[in-house]
Amino acid sequence: MQNFSYIVEDDETNEAIIMDPSWDLIELELIIKKNDLKIKYIVNTHHHFDHTLGNKAMAELTKAPIIQHESSELKHDISVKDGDSIDFGNSKLKVLHTPGHSKDGICLIGDGKLFSGDTLFVGNCGRIDLPGGSAKELYHSLFDVLYSLDDDLIMYPGHNYGNSEISTIGQEKTTNMIMQKRTEQQFIEMMG
């Protein structure tokens, strides 16, 4: 499924967060130990199993609480909503609620970076045909939320589905077929 898990470290302390632990848990554990990271939170961009499979093992390893959007029905310790901030060390990432692929989808933004989960991929967007998916909601998440962000933001998606692992918002606005300007109705028709 080519999922990406991310570990984001605060440079000035060794506090860090793990985002979407799923398949390569041994690799994640090695990175944590090698860099002597103190994991403050485990954060899921949404509840789908391929983004949360490693929650239990990582929570046992790190003792860190699990953060998800308040609308998630999956087991978690801390609920967040749009505009909340996730702080670790001297760093913070802001929560953007971006439903459409999933009701509880969030993106995280901070320090020139955007973690876009399954809302936006390099060259594509998340599917809308799973339970809780909605083309209409995805349209508003993409065009009212992500489209207005700084072009220079480096985008780190939830899957390796594009022709590169990362991108920028500006690059996606020009090259991603999904991000071309459409009305809500045109977008819904295109998504089928």
Residues that bind Zn ion (CB under 5 A): 48, 118
Nearer to Zn ion, 49 or 186 (CB): 49
Smallest distance from Zn ion to CB 74, Å = 12
Smallest distance from Zn ion to CB 123, Å = 17
Nearer to Zn ion, 118 or 137 (CB): 118
* Burial class of residue 138 in the structure, from the number of CB atoms within 10 Å of its CB (0-12 exposed, 13-18 middle, 19+ buried): buried
Distance of alpha carbon 136 from the chain centroid: 19
Nearer to Zn ion, 118 or 172 (CB): 118
Smallest distance from Zn ion to CB 121, Å = 11
What is the largest distance, in Å, between two alpha-carbon atoms of the chain?
Answer: 50
Provide the residue type at 131 as one letter: P
DSSP type of residue 4: -
Nearer to Zn ion, 15 or 137 (CB): 137
Residue nearest to Zn ion (CB): 48
CA distance 110 to 99: 19
Smallest distance from Zn ion to CB 21, Å = 14
Smallest distance from Zn ion to CB 18, Å = 17
Closest C-alpha among 31, 34, 33 to residue 8: 31
Nearer to Zn ion, 14 or 134 (CB): 134
DSSP type of residue 81: -
CA distance 55 to 61: 10
